[in-house]
């Protein structure tokens, strides 16, 4: 399974690595890919799309790299299962609610509610690991 993420200060990256740990515990393989290194074809042969991005701007996705990546894969992910996650700061998670709606409107099915963590996840965050375990069952 492939996890594509953006992270400015490492919090969402830490979530990505913990989710990968959960996926591996669940018996699947997991590859964590920074969005800057992800081609737009990365999910072409995948049933499950796993995406991580923190709340940025004013409750939006990061606009330099991550937003263009989502734009680029939007026409190709209808029918796929999607898991979303990301770190946030002072907001209330609005960016994630909007992002979930957007993915559903593209024809994706959410595996679970997007996982949001305030700033840095704990070193062995069970929320993240269990999210990965759940994804591994798909």
64 binds ligand FMN (CB under 6 A): no
91 binds ligand FMN (CB under 6 A): yes
The answer to whether 84 and 99 have CB atoms below 8 angstroms apart is yes
Q: Which is nearer to ligand FMN, 41 or 63 (CB)?
A: 63
Query: Radius of gyration (Cα) for the chain, nearest Å?
Result: 13
Q: Which of 22, 54, 114, 121 binds ligand FMN (CB under 6 A)?
A: 54
9 binds ligand FMN (CB under 6 A): yes
Q: Specify the stretch interacting with ligand FMN by CB under 6 A; choose among 30-38, 88-96, 104-112, 122-130.
A: 88-96
Question: How many angstroms separate the CA atoms of 7 and 131, rounded?
Answer: 19
CA atoms within a 13 Å half-sphere pointing along the CA-CB vector of 57: 12
122 binds ligand FMN (CB under 6 A): no
In terms of Cα–Cα distance, which of 28, 21, 31 is closest to 129? 21
Question: How many angstroms separate the CA atoms of 135 and 72, rounded?
Answer: 23
61 binds ligand FMN (CB under 6 A): no
Q: Which residues bind ligand FMN (CB under 6 A)?
A: 7-12, 54-59, 87-91, 119
């Amino acid at each position: 399974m492939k996890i594509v993420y953006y992270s400015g200060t490492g919090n969402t990256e830490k979530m990505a690595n913990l989710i990968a740990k959960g996926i591996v515990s669940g018996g699947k393989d997991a590859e964590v890919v920074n969005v800057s290194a992800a081609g737009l074809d990365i999910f072409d042969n995948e049933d499950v799309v796993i995406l991580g991005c923190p709340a940025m701007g004013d409750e939006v996705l990061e606009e330099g790299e991550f937003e263009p990546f989502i734009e680029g894969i939007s026409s190709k992910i209808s029918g796929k299962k999607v898991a979303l996650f990301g770190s946030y700061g002072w907001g209330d998670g609005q960016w994630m609610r909007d992002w979930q709606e957007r993915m559903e409107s593209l024809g994706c099915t959410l595996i679970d509610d997007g996982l949001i963590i305030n700033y840095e996840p704990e070193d062995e965050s069970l929320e993240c690991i269990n999210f990965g375990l759940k994804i591994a069952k798909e």
